Amino acid sequence: MVNIYGPEVFKGENISDTYLKVLDYLVEKEYCYALVAILKKPISGKDEVVDEELSLVGVNLDWEIHEKYKRFVFGDGKSGLDKIKARMEIFLKGRYRQAITSHRQLSFILKALNFVEKRKWLYNRLLCLTVNPSSKSLSHVHMSNKPVPPRLLLLDFKPKGEYLHLISVWRLDYVDTAMYGNWIGLSLLLREVCLKSGRKPGSLIVIVNKAVLKDPASSRYLVETFKSRYLLG
């Protein structure tokens, strides 16, 4: 019988230390179905710059792990910094941003957060969908190789008291080359919505239907880099 890896749950305080646990597991197992990562505090709560190079403000990171990822060079010649920038761009201006703001989805969430206490049914409707069968670029209902449907499927904002939590659901994610940047992008989005709605940032929960490695050889070296005592030069 073929081994099926998953489901697996990983918990951590910040983005970096949770990511390290996930990557370490994937390097050993190569893939995981139904991977769940719970980042208890993706936002630091302080409006301070944590990375000037990326203009990151308020994101909760482990500086050493973060810097090692940024400086690491993958097999395609691109650095971790390049990977993070690409994923942040998708969330801030690119494909995912365009998808979650389409049909006024994000605008609805910001408006509805003002009424959830009075209209309880809104608690479970604070959704942003990225897949749209009627849109050629966002559709998954076709047999051709491209366009590729979004890997991110759903964002679900969950208010609880004065806090706002975010759940994201992915059909697939590349743990080594994309996941770390995706988590930063999700955290920035959570912070943005909290600032606009007056809520306090809560947890980030990431559900990946299938987690894989895009560059297994580099991933093994990346894990060793994280465990080393020194930063790469």
pLDDT, one tens digit per residue, over 52-80 is 999 999 999 999 999 999 999 999 999 99
Q: Which pLDDT score is estimated for 230?
A: 65
Instruction: Quote the pTM value.
Output: 0.95
Query: Phi-psi bin for 97: left (phi > 0), alpha (psi -120 to 50), beta?
Result: alpha
Q: What is the mean pLDDT of residues 159-188?
A: 97
The pLDDT of residue 2 is above 60 = no
Residue 186 sits at φ, ψ, to 5 deg, of -65, -40
Q: Over the chain, what is the mean pLDDT?
A: 94
Task: Report domain 8-227's class.
Answer: alpha beta
Structural domain boundaries of the chain? 8-227
The pLDDT of residue 150 is above 80 = yes
CA distance 227 to 225: 5
CA distance 119 to 126: 12
CA distance 127 to 125: 5
Q: Which of 191, 150, 166 is nearest to 50 (CA)?
A: 191
pLDDT tens string 123-134: 999 999 999 999
